């Protein structure tokens, strides 16, 4: 039986069409996945001469100014961003009569849990205007883990009512893009959407540096904050 002569022609036409669709889809995915990067250095103030332990910062208050020591900065991108698809949960632990971490950056709407990993009672509280709360005294086996949801952007100082030396800072930001610098002031923010934004660096409760940046997909921008 002789096959219709139109079948090979139809197959020949469909293959280039299929290839074009695949190439278009691949190009679209690459465009959607292309994100921007910004990196640079923040000019940090001089800190007190003290041994530096990796990722541990002393929270000090001088003349009403709250700052980490050794100095570091929280760098973040300010702009209009889509709301989070689901609320985030993170922790600020209490271990060895100290907060870990002592400096924490979160997005608005994040729940912060304060697990007690010590064999003594703790009482986490804050009188900050951004978030005022008092969790009361609780032990290591407390369930559910005591915590708070931080709805408003701003600075929150955290203390323990039982151990006066315990201090920490939570910076609540209305952005999903932030990072803590090293003690050398260097930072790198990745996975950023293209566009025009404000790049900011929180240094202490009175000092925030900023500059305008224009980010392009697939490109890395060098931007220092001084």
Give the per-residue pLDDT at 193. 97
Rounded to 5 degrees, φ, ψ at 83 are -65, 155
With beta carbons less than 8 A apart as the criterion, state whether 209 and 42 touch: yes
pLDDT tens for each residue of 88-99:
999 999 999 999
pLDDT tens for each residue of 69-119:
999 999 999 999 999 999 999 999 999 999 999 999 999 999 999 999 999
Give the per-residue pLDDT at 60. 84
Residues 40-47, mean pLDDT to the nearest whole number:
93
The rounded distance, in Å, linking the Cα atoms of 38 and 210 is 14
Instruction: Indicate the pLDDT class of residue 61, thresholds 50, 70 and 90.
Output: confident
Class of domain 36-222: mainly beta
Give the per-residue pLDDT at 54. 44
Closest by CA position to 130, among listed 155, 147, 110, 108 = 155
The rounded distance, in Å, linking the Cα atoms of 63 and 127 is 18
The rounded distance, in Å, linking the Cα atoms of 7 and 101 is 68
The rounded distance, in Å, linking the Cα atoms of 144 and 147 is 9
34 DSSP 8-state letter: -
Give the per-residue pLDDT at 43. 97
Q: Specify the pairing of strand 154-160 against strand 147-150.
A: unpaired
Q: Domain locations in the chain? A: 1-33, 36-222
């Amino acid at each position: 039986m002789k096959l219709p002569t139109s079948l090979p022609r139809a197959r020949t036409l469909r293959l280039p069409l299929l290839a074009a669709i695949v190439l278009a889809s691949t190009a679209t995915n690459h465009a959607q996945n292309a994100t921007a990067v910004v990196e640079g250095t923040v000019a940090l103030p001089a800190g007190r001469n003290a041994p530096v332990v990796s990722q541990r910062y002393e929270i000090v208050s001088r003349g009403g100014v709250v700052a980490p020591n050794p100095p570091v900065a929280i760098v973040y991108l300010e702009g209009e961003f889509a709301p989070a698809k689901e609320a985030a949960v993170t922790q600020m632990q209490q271990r060895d009569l100290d907060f870990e971490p002592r400096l924490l950056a979160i997005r608005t709407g994040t729940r912060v849990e304060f697990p007690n990993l010590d064999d003594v009672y703790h009482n986490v509280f804050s009188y900050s205007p951004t978030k005022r709360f008092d969790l009361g005294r609780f032990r290591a086996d407390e369930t559910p883990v005591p915590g708070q949801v931080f709805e408003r952007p701003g600075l929150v100082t955290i203390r323990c009512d039982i151990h006066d030396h315990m201090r920490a800072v939570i910076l609540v930001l209305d952005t999903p893009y932030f990072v803590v610098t090293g003690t050398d002031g260097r930072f790198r923010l990745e996975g950023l959407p293209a566009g025009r934004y404000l790049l900011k660096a929180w240094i202490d409760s009175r000092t925030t540096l900023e500059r305008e940046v224009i980010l392009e997909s697939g490109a890395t921008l060098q931007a220092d904050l001084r």
